[in-house]
Amino acid sequence: MSLEDSPADAPENTGGAALNPKNSAFNYFEGSPEEKALGLFSIVGAEGSFSEEDVQRIPRELALRIYDGMLTVRVVDRRMMALQRQGRISFYGEALGQEAAVVGSAAALNAEDWLVPALREAGAGLYHGLPLAKYLAQIFGNAADVTKGRQMPCHPCDRDTNYVVMSSVVSTQIMHAVGIAMGMKLQGHSGRMCIGYMGDGGTSEPDFHTALNFAGVMQPPVVLVCQNNQWAISTPGSSQTASQTIAVKGLGYGVESLRADGNDALAVYEVTRYAAEKARRGDGPTFIELLTYRVSAHSSSDDPSRYRDESITLEWRERRDPLQRMLGFLTAQGWLDVAGAAAREVALEEKVRELIQAQEGVPMPSLESLFDDVFEAPTWLLDEQRESLLAEDRS
Ligand SMILES: Cc1ncc(C[n+]2csc(CCOP(=O)(O)OP(=O)(O)O)c2C)c(N)n1
Ligand SMILES: [Mg+2]
């Protein structure tokens, strides 16, 4: 199957037309609401082409930082999947093929902004400052894990960088993001914003519609990002919605809605930056659809070959890889060469290996810690249960 036949280009329902009526990609932002929600903003095309005019605004340092962030996701995911297969961690969900959407969007955030992830945005947290050691501690569920081993793996959180723990119940986190932004608004718009993520499957949940409606009416400084990876476990986009695009749903709620190529890190950065700056100015919410593809399985517990045509996946893996596209851009600009990229990857592999070794050596949380944090002051009943459990453990 050719790429032209693949879901992104000829979708049954969710793809929409690749509509970019103006010369420069940046004129996209001056389009009508419908043009923005039905079009597909890109800077570096699938074949690696870009216009000099469009990339003028992308500083070298930022482009390299985004590339490193994407490489971090790729390397960490690869190692974590290997660990899961070796039985050293229990579960993992990759973001393979979605690194541009994850990191390009995080690159538009300021340190004081808040981030509310869905399933695949740990890499956004890492880019935003969540320490990798903390992330790994959470995956191992060891004594260094701030959630004391009580969450499933891939549910990190970090108070220092305003990274809120993922709520596993699909779409509940969209409400949390809107609520946090509403709090910012009530505090008087101090130039902060909140970004909230979801998947394409999440847009079929009632919470999505409640959150968008509330955001449209109350105008909090929120940016809601849908990573449309065209699958929700085994449900394809064509069974998810009859809407022409996912972005266009936002217009019904009076929310400006943008749509970009989610495998083009620079396009993702630009749409998110536009929306984040708007939010910080107090000019209201934005909904963004990032069109990408879930190259990996849904999680380490899933086998997609049982329900989808993996030849399409192969096309995305080999011809639409976001890291290769970004590297092509950096190489064309003379900012990085292939040898330099390989050296960065080797150095990252080494760093990740060392951090894994350190975290694997940290003991598990104590049995006693199970009773922490239930009440501010433990009740007599809880004390009794703790004593009983510890006595049993000793015997
Ligand atoms: C309310 C709810 N229903 C079902 C599930 C089980 N579940 C977990 S992830 C998922 C699919 C999510 O798909 P999508 O929103 O597209 O995100 P993706 O996994 O593709 O990133 C489902 C159905 C859940 N966690 N919560
Ligand atoms: Mg999905």
If asked whether residues 300 and 387 sit together in one domain, one would say: no
Nearest to residue 44, comparing CAs of 321, 339, 315?
321
- pLDDT surpassing 80 at residue 14: no
Q: What is the pLDDT of residues 248-300, one digit of tens each?
A: 999 999 999 999 999 999 999 999 999 999 999 999 999 999 999 999 999 99
Helix axes 322-333, 338-360, angle to 10 degrees: 130
Report residue 54 as tokens.
């469009």
**CA–CA dist 127, 95 (Å, integer):** 14
At 187, is the secondary structure helix, strand, or coil? coil
Identify the domain containing residue 74 by its residue range.
3-364
Same domain, 124 and 244: yes
Note whether 252 and 379 are same-domain residues: no
Residues 126 and 175 in one domain: yes
Is a pLDDT exceeding 90 seen at residue 56? no
Contact 105, 226 (CB under 8 A): no
Phi and psi torsions of 149, nearest 5°: 70, 20
Instruction: Answer yes or no: is pLDDT of 51 > 70.
Output: yes
**Residues contacting residue 333 through CB under 8 Å, at least 6 positions apart:** 55, 60, 63
Into how many domains does the chain fold?
2
- Contact predicate 240/202, CB 8 Å: no
- What is the distance, to the nearest Å, from the Cα of residue 264 to the centroid of all Cα atoms in its chain? 14
Q: Which of 102, 166, 170, 231 for mutating ligand 1's site (highest number of atoms within 8 Å of CB)?
A: 170
Reported pTM:
0.93
> What are the pLDDT digits (tens) for 88-107?
999 999 999 999 999 999 99
- In this structure, the answer to whether residues 147 and 248 fall within a common structural domain is yes
Contact 106, 273 (CB under 8 A): no
Q: Collapsing DSSP states into helix, strand and coil, what is residue 189? A: coil
Q: Which atom of ligand 1 sits closest to the CA of residue 171?
A: 1
Residue 260: what pLDDT? Answer: 98
Mean pLDDT of 337-341: 96
Distance from C-alpha of 54 to C-alpha of 58, rounded to nearest angstrom: 8
Catalytic positions are 294, 298, 307
Name the pLDDT band for 23 (thresholds 50, 70, 90).
low
119 lines ligand 1 (CB under 6 A): yes
> 12: exposed, middle or buried (C-beta count within 10 Å: 0-12, 13-18, 19+)?
exposed
Residue of the CA atom closest to atom 13 of ligand 1: 232
Residue of 185 and 23 predicted with greater confidence:
185
- In short, whether 97's Cβ falls inside 6 Å of ligand 1 is no
pLDDT at 12 over 70: no
Q: Is the CB of 200 under 6 A from ligand 1?
A: yes
- 351 and 374 housed in the same domain: no
Of the listed ligands, the closest to the CA of 199 is 1
- Burial (CB < 10 A; 0-12, 13-18, 19+), residue 378, is middle
More confident residue, 10 or 188: 188
- Are the CB atoms for 296 and 97 separated by under 8 Å? yes
236 and 263 co-located in one domain: yes
Using pLDDT thresholds of 50, 70 and 90, give the confidence band for residue 143: very high
Helix (H) or strand (E) holding 198: strand 194-199
